[in-house]
Amino acid sequence: MNTEEAIDKVYQSVLKRDPGQPEFHQAVYEILQSLKLLLEREEDYLDILPRIVEPERAILFRVPWVTDDNQVRVNRGYRVQFNSAIGPFKGGLRFHPSVNLSIIKFLGFEQIFKNSLTGLPIGGGKGGSDFDPKGKSDMEVMRFCQSFMIELEHHIGQNTDVPAGDIGVGKREIGYLFGQFKRLRNSYEPGVLTGKDLNFGGSLIRPEATGYGCAYFAEEMLHAHNDSLSGKKVLVSGSGNVAQYAVEKITQLGGKCLTLSDSSGFIHDQDGIDEEKLAFVKELKNERHGRISEYTKVFTKATFHAGQKPWGVPADFAFPCATQNEIEAKDAEQLIMGGCKGICEGANMPSTLDAIRIYYQNKILYGPAKAANAGGVATSALEMSQNSQRLAWTREEVDGRLRNIMVNIHRVAAETANEFDRPGDLMAGANIAGFRKVADAMKGQGIV
C-alpha cells in the first residue's frame, strides 16, 4: 500500500465511523492532504494517523436550567478531549445554536496542531453547547453556566483540561463557570479556566490576543515579501472579540479597515474604522449586544448591506474573523476580482476547501487559521503560567511574548514549507510542523 492509499484508508475510516459530521471530515481531509509531503519521506508516521484522528475522550451531557419565568429548558453540552500528548487538553467553549458534535470535533482536532505550533506545552480539546446566550438575561446565563459546570467539573483541571472562551463565551460566562467550579471543588484553582477577569487570575492582553496575534501574523507574512500592512485597505468580517481587536491592531500598524459584519449583514466605511468608531462598536457589541447596522445611524457616511458578506468590496487584504466556512468559492473569486492580495484567518476554518484552492491558484498570500489565530490560545497558556506562579505580568510583557510567539509560528511554518519544497505554502508548513511535534510525542509515549 502506497502513502496515498494509506492516507485515503484513514480518511475513509473517519467517514465510516463518524457519519454526518461534515465539518470534522473537512478538517481531517485538509490535514491529511498536507501531510502527504511528510509521510512520503517518513512512513513511520503513518501508524500515528488512525490514533490522531480519534479523540481520547468525547463527553456529551444534558444541561437543564430554568428561565426567568420558571420554565425548564434543556440544552446539550459537549467536551471533546482530543489529544494530550504534549500537555493538558486546551481549547475554548462555544455557546451557539449551531453547536453539534461535528463542530466541536473539528475545532478540537484543529486545536491539536494550533496548540503545537505555539511551542507551549498544551494539548488539544474543545467544548460547548447549543445554548444561545443572545436574548437571555444575566440570571439566565448564570443559571445555565452553573448547570453546565456541574457536569463539566468532573472532567477538567489545571493539569487535565483547561477550557477558555469562544463564540458566545466571554468574560461574563467564564466568571460564572469559574465561580461554580470553585464552589463545587471548595478549592481556588485559577489555572482551571482561562479568559478570566483580572480580579481573579485573568491576564492582560487575553481579550485582545486572537485579534492582535492575527494582525501580527499578517504583518510577518507581508514582511517576508518586503511589504507591510501600512497603507493597506483591509476587509474584516465579524464584529466580536476577534474582529474588534484585529481592527485595533491593524489600524495601529497603519492599515485601514473598511468593513465589519454580523449575522444581519455588513457595514462598509470608506473612511476607515478609526479609534472613535471602534470604541462605538465595542460598546454596541460588548455591552448592548446590538446589531452592526446601528453603526450607520451614528456614522452616516457608512453603508449597511443587509444579508450580505463583505468580500465584494475592493481591498488589499482580508481578515475573516466571524465563523467557519464563511468564505466559499464564489466569495474567494470576489476577493480576487477586488484586488485582494492576501487572506489571514482570524476565525477557525473560515475558508472552504474550494476557496483555499482559489487562493493557491491565484498565488495570493494565505495565513491559515491554525497558525494565524493561535494568539488567543497562546496567551491562554501565558495566563496559565501566571496562575501557576501566582504572578501578574504587565501588559507590555504579555504583548511582547504574544508577538514573539506569532513571529515564531510564522518562521516555523515558512521554514517547514521550504524544507518540503513548498516555499510560501504556510498551510502545508503549519500542518506538518504542528503534526510532527505531536506525533513524535505520541511515539515516545507508546500506544496509549
Please identify every residue annotated as catalytic.
126
Q: Which three cell numbers stand for residue 327?
A: 468564505
What gap in Å lies between CA 262 and CA 26, rounded to an integer?
24
265-293 exposure pattern, b = at least 16 Cβ within 10 A, e = fewer? bbbbbeeebeeebbeebbebbbeeeeebb
Q: In sequence order, which residues have a C-beta less than 8 Å from that of residue 314 and are 6 or more positions away?
A: 233, 338, 339
The CA–CA distances, whole Å, from 116 to 139, 273, 359, 377 equal 37, 34, 25, 10
Does residue 278 contact residue 298 with C-beta atoms inside 8 Å? Answer: no
Cβ burial of 29 (10 Å; 0-12, 13-18, 19+) is middle
Q: What is the distance of C-alpha 389 from the center of its chain?
A: 26
What gap in Å lies between CA 266 and CA 271, rounded to an integer?
15
